[in-house]
Structure 1
Amino acid sequence: MRWIRTLAVTTLVLTLTACTTSPTGRQQLTLVSDAQLDEMGREAFEQYERDLPAAGAASQRYAQCVADALVAVLPERERDKNWQIRVFESEQANAFALPGGYMGVNTGLLQVAENQDQLAAVVGHEIGHVLANHANERVSTQTSTQLALSVLSSAAGMRGPGGEQLMGALGLGAQYGILLPFSRRHESEADVIGLQLMADAGFDPRASLALWENMSANGGQPPAWMSTHPSHGQRTAGLQAQMDDAMSRYEQARQAGRQPNCPRP
């Protein structure tokens, strides 16, 4: 059918013109320029700073100490980004990363992360999102999915209530079959990158497992297939599978004198 050929050509062109590789070797679709995303990240970060109250100086120094130790072991090209971290007063146990190297941590998460190593697991994970261009990939996947659905709707002549119902079902299928799995893949990939990064910086990678035990005790989750994040059990299993390599990196870092000392306020 003609609409199938049109959809296939559109998808092939997008794939061939914007295919990159993540730090773990995974193929990615990246349609947006780094400059555009960095500017979007800066604007979003400034909005966070306007909307949320800043935490005290001691909490800020603590998070900055951990972030500085992690950034110090990045490759030079990535180390030269404009990395910034802020601690916000919020009971939600949450952290985020934005394109351009902007990161935020809530004070609620500082209560869950019991020491510098557990906080390093969080901040390393967020740095992993930036290193792997996950924001670009997410925006690009959403854009290409919407384009494909639009091409499908037009080419197939889906008009009227029946066509709208079918397009709605296809959109739901795209959400649970493409967009959410991509996000869960991003989370798992950031876990691996963050685990390696914290170990290279001299933070104990075993603390990542303790962190997720704390997070699991902090509240429930929707089923993994309906969530943008893997379940706590899935994350723990993924981290455990990488732990031997992480411990080897950790021992090498300690022998090289990388022993962070970031006092928890």
Structure 2
Amino acid sequence: MSWLKYSAIALVVGLTACSSSPTGRNQLILFSDADMSNLGSQSFEQMKQELKISKDVKVNKYVQCVASAVTKHVPKQSSFDNWEVVVFDSEQVNAFALPGGKIGVYTGLLNVAKNQDQLATVIGHEIAHVLADHSNERLSQSQLANTGLQITSIALGASEYAQYRDATMSALGLGVQVGVLLPYGRTQESEADIVGLELMAKAGFDPRQSIALWQNMAKASKGQQPPELLSTHPSHGTRIQDLSETMQKLRNYNVSRPNCN
């Protein structure tokens, strides 16, 4: 790489990378909110085409109710107006949120998130990834690792998106096969736990149920989770301990309790 190219990258990083996460952590952010919203929306449309969408009216009403209660307490975003929620008919025990206000929930999660408070814990956590620019952070790191993406302030068009699909999907937390969710780093996961817990508490859900959720997750994993040092996720035990400490610092929000069950 020529010195000129190095200088160009250094200039872009210097002009755009100064950012802090909701917890005050320094972040490398190279892409605009509009760029990320465009990528998130394109990825979500692809998922809706390739994955089975649940037609269960009761399940959809329940998930929409919980998600709506949480998103009402999310600050207005500059790059999109509304959050879109889709329930995917899959045994996967997971959910995700993408830049551009896209939320996906797999029906398998409802077998582990036993009530509205536990589901709100997961949805709040996933929305927190978006609010904390974690996908932007990953995409920016991939850019500097020479994945082939072009540094630009212009949203990728359809042809460019197709060309860089694998790297883009990975940065957004999605696998090349769109039904596979890739983990964020441990720091990002812990940060999303903290921000997500405050979100669900603001919406009137019981933050104490976050502990029960991860206890359920631990049971569902049947001891298959790798040791914490070998995993990008915090261990269930660490997660529960961190959530317990965060709960002690939460304000007592005087809001009405949602009734989604």
TM bracket, shorter-chain basis: 0.7 to 0.9
Residue segments in structure 2 that go unaligned for 5+ positions in a row? 148-181
Q: Determine if the alignment matches structure 1 residue 204 to structure 2 residue 202.
A: no
Whichever of the two has the greater Rg, that structure is 1
Instruction: Judge which range, 233-242 or 129-138, deviates more.
Output: 233-242
Indicate conservation of the 8 Å contact 2:120/2:200, yes or no.
Answer: yes
Aligned partner of residue 85 in structure 1, secondary structure: strand
Aligned to 1:185: 187
Q: Residues 20-42 of structure 1: CA distance to partner in whole angstroms, max 9, x if unpaired?
A: 11122111111112212111111
Note closer, same or farther for the CA distance 1:51–1:194 as it changes in structure 2 (3 Å cut).
Answer: same
Q: Secondary structure at the match of 2:105?
A: strand
Q: CA deviation at 1:79?
A: 11
Structure 1 Cα separation of the partners of residues 220 and 139 of structure 2: 30
2:3 aligned with 1:36: no
The TM-score, its normalising length taken from structure 2, stands at 0.77
Q: Is 1:26 matched up with 2:25? A: yes
1:87 aligns with 2:87: yes
Distance apart, 1:17 and its partner CA: 2.2
Give, in whole Å, the separation in 2 of the partners of 1:237 and 1:12.
40
> How much has 1:12 moved relative to structure 2?
5.9
Q: Distance in 1 between matches of 2:79 and 2:212?
A: 28
**C-alpha contact 2:85 2:104 (8 A) present in aligned 1:** yes
The alpha carbon displacement at 1:76 in A equals 3.6
Q: Residue 109 of structure 2 aligns to which amino acid in structure 1?
A: L
Shift of 1:10: 8.2
Cα distance in structure 2, aligned partners of 1:93 and 1:203: 21
| Alignment size in residue pairs | 222
Q: Write the letter of the residue equivalent to 1:145.
A: A
Percent of aligned pairs sharing the same letter: 49
* Matched AA of 1:16: G
TM-score (norm 1): 0.76
Equivalent residue in structure 1 for 2:219, among 195, 199, 217? 217
Work out whether 1:230 is the aligned partner of 2:231: no
Q: Which has the higher helix share?
A: 1
Q: Is the 8 A contact 1:138 1:183 kept in 2?
A: no
Pairwise CA RMSD: 2.7
Partner of 1:244: 248
1:260 matched residue in structure 2: 258
